[in-house]
Each structure stands twice: as structure tokens, then as C-alpha cells.
Amino acid sequence: MLQEKITQYTQEIEAFKPSSAEDVEAFRLKFLVSKGIVKALFDEFKTVSSEEKRALGKVLNAFKQLAEQSYKDAAAEYTGGHTDRNKRTEGDLTLPGPGFALGSRHPLSLVRKEIVEIFKKLGFVVSEGKEIEDDWHNFTALNFAPEHPARDMQDTFFVKGGDTSEDLVLRTHTSSVQVRLMEMNQPPFRAIMPGRVYRNEAISARAHCFFHQIEGLYVDENVSFADLKQTLYHFVKELYGEDTKVRFRPSYFPFTEPSAEMDISCTICKGKGCQLCKHSGWVEILGCGMVDPQVLENCGIDSQKYSGFAFGMGIERITNLKYEIRDLRLFSENDVRFLSQFETELI
């Protein structure tokens, strides 16, 4: 009889004590699916006399509610609240979704951009060359003698040159872009050349086998060392602030004559002396000089008529000084804890 069945199943449900998600699923399959007991009792209800219908209608509805509520309670405890396999989402579906986490700019990109912007305002254009270079552009055109130590395997990565017998190198500096630029253009030109360079170094906190440089070149009639100094003074004040001090020291590069290295007052200790500046108060940031007339001639430029200055700096070094980063390896390890400290830009 229907009445007895309802009483019996009510007792069974009241005694139901699930101890796992499987128990909960078994309950659902027994009572609530379309071939389950609740549906079967409702089918049977259709067949009973109208007298019985009157007596059992409420009881049966109460039984159905009891079965559904017991299942919901059990599901909340054991299946994280998913009460229906086809309807797993609960909550307001019209609410906007969670925002996407935006990445941040790499510190080297930020600093490169900043440097490029400063020189752009002085009329420099951006130019790029090749990372795999031939000997001429990386060394010979820049006056590196055949026995120059920089050509040694210890410093340079050599690459077998495809179908030619020529040995290629991974460029060791962006000065190679100067050569390409001068070969392809006639003065006047002003260009800034950012790029990645490679050296055969053991990786440590202070050295890496690849890093980034920015090269600058200005060639025109009557370009002088005073133009070079003034341009670089302006650059340093823009990048590190008005009160940064600058000094030039005589130096040597095969492709410039005269050559100099430029130091700035240590940005960390403001010149008082610290570990980074080795207690001297000064840190070197770039090499520079007047383009050697022989280099101009090597690239097809009349050195009687034109002169020029060039400079080259490491972007990592400039970045370290700006953000006080002490380990070069951080730049290429892709550690999100490091990278997410830098500015996020939407454009």
C-alpha cells in the first residue's frame, strides 16, 4: 500500500547518515532520479482512489520535500554543495567575472624605454641590427686587430655559418649596429640602438652570458667631443635627476679616438661610499668617444668631411642602479615575485 511505503521510506530517509560523497550519490540515485522512488510513488499515487488521494496528497508531498532536503543537506556536507551534476554553478551568474591578472613590464624593458625616450627627444631614431653577426660588423670594421683578445673563444660565442664557410658570432656588443647603420646611410644621422648581446661568461650574480646594451651614434659635419659630453650630461640628469654628478675618464676602445668612460655619482649612497660603488662614490655607466676616422672610412663615410661620437651602455647596469638590484640572474629567471614589483602598463 502507498501509505505503508511512504512510512517505510520516510523512516529510511530519517535514518540516512551518509559518510562519503558516494553515499550521497547513492541516495540521489535511489530516491531522486526519474526512475527513483519519489517518482515511482507519485506514479502510484495517480492510480489510487480519490478518497486515498485526498488523504495521501499532503503526506506524499511532505515525503518528497523530506527526500530533497535530506539530499541537499548531505550534498552540502560531502560534495561541496553540488546538488545536481548538470547544474554545478550556484550564485548570481549575471555578476561580472573576476578580472584577469595583468602582467607587469620587465624592468629591463622599462629602463630601455626610458632611455630611448630621452634620446628620441634629442632627435635620435631607433635602429636595430642582427644578433648573429659576421666578423666584419662585430670586429673588423670597428678596428679590432686580428689578434685582439675579444675575438678569443673565451669571450665570444662562434656559430657555424650555415652553407657558407664563414664563421659567424653572436654579437658581443651593439657597436656592430653602428657599422650597419653607417654602411647604409650617409650623414647626418643620430641613432640609438638597443639590443641583446652575448659573451662567453660563467653565469653569476655579476656576469651573464647574455645581456642588453644601448648604443648611440651621431655623425655630422663638425661634431665635437663637447657635443658628446653635453648629450650625455643631459641624459644622466634626465634619467637619475639634476643633482647627479658626472665625470669622464680617459679610456681605450679600438673604434673611438679619443675614448672615455663615464662615471656618475653612486645613486645608492649619493657619493658617500657603499658596497655597490666599492666605497669610491662613483660608478661607471658607459663607454664613449669620437668615432675613429678609420671606422668612418671602413663604412664608406668621408672622414675629412664628417666626424661623430658614439657611446654604449649596459641596460642591466643602468637598471641595477635605478632599482638597486644586486643579482643579474634575477632578470632572466622569470620569478613572478620579482617581476610583479614593477609597473603595470596597459598600453
Closer of 151 and 173 to ligand DAH (Cβ) = 173
Specify the residue, 38 or 142, whose C-beta has the smaller distance to ligand DAH: 142
Cβ-proximal residues to 270 (8 Å cutoff; 6+ apart), any chain: none
The total number of residues shown for the chain amounts to 347
Closest CB 203 distance from ligand DAH, rounded Å: 18
Between 154 and 275, name the residue whose CB sits nearer to ligand DAH. Answer: 154
Beta pairing, strands 167-170 & 125-126: unpaired
Q: What is the smallest separation between the CB atom of 135 and ligand DAH, expressed in angstroms? A: 15
> Percent helix, strand, coil in the chain (nearest 5)?
40, 20, 40
Q: Residue 48: is it exposed, middle or buried by C-beta count within 10 angstroms (0-12/13-18/19+)?
A: middle
3-state secondary structure 41-60: HHHHHHHCCHHHHHHHHHHH
* Least Å from the CB of residue 251 to ligand DAH: 8
> Which is closer to ligand DAH, CB of 78 or CB of 248?
248
Minimum distance from residue 339 beta carbon to ligand DAH (Å): 26
Cα–Cα distances in angstroms (integers) from residue 85 to residues 33, 91, 162, 176, 194, in the given order: 12, 16, 59, 64, 56
Amino acid identity for residue 335 in this structure: D
Distance CA 193, CA 176 (A): 10
Residue number, nearest CB to ligand DAH = 312
Farthest-apart Cα atoms in the chain, separation:
120
Q: Residue 141 and residue 186: Cα distance in Å, rounded? A: 17
On whether the CB atoms of residues 103 and 344 are closer than 8 A, the answer is: yes
Minimum Å gap between C-beta 315 and ligand DAH is 12
For ligand DAH, give the closer residue by CB, 310 or 318. 310
Min CB(161)–ligand DAH separation in Å: 23
Q: Tell me the closest approach of the beta carbon of residue 93 to ligand DAH, in angstroms.
A: 58
Closer Cβ to ligand DAH, 67 or 295, answer by number = 295
Residue with Cβ nearer ligand DAH (253 or 342): 253
- Separation between Cα atoms, residue 336 and residue 128, nearest integer Å: 29
User: Least distance from C-beta 210 to ligand DAH, angstroms?
Assistant: 13
- Residues 6 and 28: their CA atoms lie apart, in Å, by 17
Residue 257: Cβ within 10 Å count: 15
Residues that bind ligand DAH (CB under 6 A): 173, 175, 215, 253, 256, 287-289, 310-312
- Using the minimum distance from each CB to ligand DAH, give the nearer residue, 41 or 315: 315
CB 63 within 8 A of CB 41: yes
